[in-house]
Amino acid sequence: MNERWNWEDLRLFLGVARGGGLAKAVGATQVSAPTLSRRMYSLERTLSVTLFDRSRDGYELTSDGVELLRLAEAVERDAFQIDRWTSNVDRAPRVKIAAGAWTSLFIARHIKDLLGGDDDIAIDIIAGTSQADLLRREANLGIRNRRPEITGLAGQRLVQVEFAVYGSDAFCKTFPQAGDDRRFSECDWIAFAPRGPVLPSAAWLSDVLLQRPRFVCSSPNAVLEAALAGAGLCILPCFIGDAEARLRRQSGVLDSLRHDQWLVSHDDDRRDRHVSTVSKKIAKLMRGNRDLFAGKLMN
């Protein structure tokens, strides 16, 4: 291999090439746009070719860029095969689970249910990236809010998820209007706004709220801590809000935010012993808490 470049260069190039620019590549590579831009210019200087025609509309591959894309995808396929071989012979294989922020928090709280047993499997939780590309093995398992529609991916329905409005005991006692529609004009709110696409719950809150949120958080833990501190109301999945004894539900379930959770995997990966083992444990864990996810265990 040419010592002037490495697989990381090609990985970032693939992200930019497939995304047609820097904006979409940020989510795929978890690298900032300025860094991606610098790395692409550096790669071009290293290879002494122009890979992209850059414009305000994005990055379009040149003929050299198209050829490198073909070669880089071949290297990527080989790297995946090596990763699969390594994980299968590893005495302590790792399973990567990509899930949204709230689901990741739930899994972390119940991680012993996934690590227990006679197997020696290690687990990585990739939080906030439920849309990680399973075809390219960015994760072995994904927990998503829709059935997979891409050829090569398999999915099984897990549970139905409900959302509601929550606030701390102290806040709700101070502001009784938190329990009715006055909440949207007379109460402070905490909004959850992680990096990436706008969450359905955030879009719903933006549509109904008659004022700007008092506090905006990119971290789910920060949302919870702010709500517990009495900073305002927030939208939470019931499996988070109802499990917290210090919070009180202030609405019925929000029908427009209802969705199913699906466990998704690559057709090949799901046949691997360790992936299959973790998959079964996740299904058992979440289905065993079906009523909590469905908002039937209100605190």
Domain boundaries, the chain: 7-87, 93-159+259-288, 163-257
163-257: CATH number: 3.40.190.10
State the pLDDT at residue 1.
Answer: 42
Token look-up 């998820």 returns 161
In sequence order, what are the residues at sequence separation of 6 or more whose Cβ sits closer than 8 angstroms to the Cβ of residue 40? 12, 13, 16, 51, 52, 59
State the pLDDT at residue 138.
Answer: 77
State the pLDDT at residue 131.
Answer: 57
Alpha helices for the chain (secondary structure H): 7-19, 22-29, 33-47, 63-89, 101-109, 111-115, 169-174, 183-186, 200-208, 220-228, 238-241, 273-288, 290-293
State the pLDDT at residue 166.
Answer: 97
State the pLDDT at residue 84.
Answer: 66
The reply to whether 93-159+259-288 shares the fold of 7-87 is no
State the pLDDT at residue 92.
Answer: 60
Q: Which parts of the chain register pLDDT below 70?
A: 1-5, 83-92, 117-119, 129-133, 135, 299
Match domain 93-159+259-288 to its CATH number in 2.40.50.140, 3.40.190.10, 3.40.50.2300, 3.40.50.1820: 3.40.190.10
The three-class DSSP label of residue 239 is helix
State the pLDDT at residue 110.
Answer: 93
How far apart are alpha carbons 216 and 265 in whole angstroms?
A: 33
Asked: is 7-87 a CATH 3.30.565.10 domain? The reply is no
By the 8 A CB rule, do 289 and 239 touch? yes
Neighbours of 294 (CB within 10 A): 17
